[in-house]
Amino acid sequence: MTSNQIALVQHSWARVQKIAEPAAQLFYDRLFSLDPSLKAMFRGDMKEQGRRLMNMITFAVNGLPRLEAIIPGVQALGRRHAGYGVKDSHYATVGTALLWTLSEGLGAAFTDEVKEAWAAAYGVLANTMKDAAREAA
């Protein structure tokens, strides 16, 4: 990722955080419409799950300038997700739902450049998680 991409992700995420609860709801609604089978992986309070999602994304976004410092946490997250039954193919669905949610939440501010930056950030994080899950298996 370039420093410009990191800045775009961080700036746009600051805007999404202002609508964190509805953004989380949009994300999960979209995720489950793309793949209804994923809903079975989530038990309990979805508002709390949404808060955890937003906190995790905030952790990752804030850590992008010093990626090496957050890699161990991202790897641990990947191993935990594997334990929940998350498969490599699910990451593409999550990425699609995330980009769609960002588009909805940011509106016209979700430019092609911002979309590319988010796709790059998600790619790095998702690949790190998938690699860690494979190594743990």
**Is there a contact between 41 and 87 (Cβ–Cβ < 8 Å)?**
no
| DSSP string for 97-120 | HHHHHHHHHHGGG--HHHHHHHHH
CATH architecture, domain defined by 3-136: Orthogonal Bundle (1.10)
Per DSSP, 44 falls in state: S
The pLDDT value recorded for residue 112 is 98
Residue type, 100: W
pTM of the model: 0.94
Domain ranges of the chain: 3-136
Q: How far is CA 91 from CA 8, 17, 108, 129, in A?
A: 22, 22, 26, 9
Residue type, 49: Q
**Is there a contact between 1 and 117 (Cβ–Cβ < 8 Å)?**
yes
Per-residue pLDDT reduced to its tens digit, 76-112 = 999 999 999 999 999 999 999 999 999 999 999 999 9
The pLDDT value recorded for residue 49 is 95
Block means of pLDDT (10 residues each) for the chain, length 137 residues? 97 97 97 96 93 96 96 96 93 98 97 98 97 90
The pLDDT value recorded for residue 136 is 84
The pLDDT value recorded for residue 117 is 98
